[in-house]
Amino acid sequence: MKDIKTTNTLLLIIVIPLIFYLLKILSFIFIPLILSMFIAILFLPLIRWMDKVRMPRVMSIVVVILIIFGILKLGGFLIKLSSNEILSAKDVFIEKAESKLLGIIVTIENFFGIERVEGENVLIHYFQKSNVMKNFGKSLDFIGDALSMTLMTVFFVILLLSESINFEKILNSTLLKSNYSSVKTFMKIERDLIKFIKVKFIISLLTGIGFSIACIAFGISFPIFWGLFAFLINFVQLVGSIISVVLCALFALVELDPSGTLLLFVLSITMVQVLMGGVLEPIFMGKTFSVNVMTVLIMLMLWGFIWGVPGLIMSIPITVFMKIIFEQFPETKKIAALMSGSEQAVKIPWKKKT
């Protein structure tokens, strides 16, 4: 028995890295599949309501697809609006940035021995058209990959909502082996993930609005862009809030004098993040998001390494899903307790004593 246990442990050590390797190699399939699962779960209550009013399932799926494309169209409109905002103020901002950053860039050039024609525009030199054209092929590849993943995600959402892929039955036949347990687990996954996504969306939206208002109040250029950026990056748990504050503060350094005004602006956007992420989000999440900071960081690094930016965004929903699954088995309840940071983690027995 001891030899069998050792063999199983060694096989597990070999299999887990192999699984993560396959997830990384086949990311073009797994990213749309996992993302579509979360989207389908988000729309399941709406589908059930339409089933109650006896709407045909085909019509229900069409309504959901129209809602998704409406959200994408709204996102595209905001991106276009922020792009027009940047293009309209490009020349004015370049002049400000040139005068403000010239001293810093010259110091860096001298340190690294970089040569540049004297009197040449610094920003144009480092962001000239030739450099843009070199990256044009990569940009096209990125757009193509994003478009293909979007279409695949929509395709998987249709399959999930039409029950061609039944996640509840998959749980029943693979992990839980019990109809009652699979239904109960699926409902908990659905409830917790819907709550997480809704709260995260509202908090991110309020954060973006707060950033835009702060930029308008202090005369920072591109308030729509910074609001949109803060909204999107806030979906990356823990790290996103830090990135938005740091980048916005560095940008404000170009337009504001290093005085009390700049400090007040940095404090304003920091307070927005603290209020939204540190106060309101934990209150609204309640026990749904009972995952400790160490687990969040590990999962961010793991899924960010495997799937890049999509992995960073989906890492916390995946973590919540894994924690709920671990809670269903006596052998893995201790892992779920450690993930949630429970003080009783060490007190949970592997088996109940008779």
Residue whose C-alpha is closest to residue 154's, from 28, 45, 69? 69
Confidence bin at 98 (pLDDT 50/70/90)? low
User: What average pLDDT does the segment 52-56 reach?
Assistant: 88
- The number of domains in the chain is 1
Is the pLDDT score of 31 beyond 80?
A: yes
More confident residue, 60 or 170: 60
What would the pLDDT profile of 323-345 be if each residue is shown by its tens digit? 888 888 787 888 888 887 654 44
Query: What are 124's two structure tokens?
Result: 């144009």
* 17: in domain: yes
- Confirm whether 85 is domain-assigned: yes
Digit-coded pLDDT (tens) for 232-245? 999 887 788 889 99
Confidence of residue 204 (pLDDT cuts 50, 70, 90): very high
Q: What is the pLDDT of residue 109?
A: 63
CA distances to 25, 176, 301 from 319, in Å: 21, 18, 12
Token pair recorded at residue 143: 């757009």
Residue, of 17 and 105, whose pLDDT is higher: 17
Contacts of 94 (CB under 8 A, 6+ apart): 121, 123, 124
Give the pLDDT mean for 128-149: 59
Q: Which residue has the higher pLDDT, 207 or 155?
A: 207
Q: Report pLDDT digits (tens) over 268-284.
A: 999 999 999 888 888 88
* Mean pLDDT computed over 288-305: 82
Query: How far apart, in Å, are the Cα atoms of 267 and each of 125, 215, 245?
Result: 34, 12, 9
Q: Rounded mean pLDDT of 130-155? A: 65
Range of the domain at 67: 1-89+133-164
SS3 208: helix
Is the pLDDT score of 122 beyond 60?
Answer: no
Residue 213 confidence (pLDDT) above 90:
yes
Position 341 scores a pLDDT of 63
The dihedral built from the CA positions of residue 120, 124, 127 and 133, taken in this order, carries a sign that is negative
Question: According to the model, what pLDDT value does residue 130 have?
Answer: 45
Q: How far apart are CA 52 and CA 6, in angstroms?
A: 53
Is 350 part of a structural domain of the chain? no
Residue 22 included in any domain: yes
Give the single-character DSSP code of 45. H
CA distance linking residue 38 with residue 31, whole number of Å: 11
4 found inside a domain = yes
Distance CA(242)–CA(132), nearest Å, equals: 28
The closest of 192, 153, 232, 177 to 318, measured between CA atoms, is 192
Q: What's residue 349's pLDDT?
A: 40
Residue 66 placed within a domain? yes
Residue 233 lies inside a defined structural domain of this protein = no
In a domain, 32, yes or no: yes
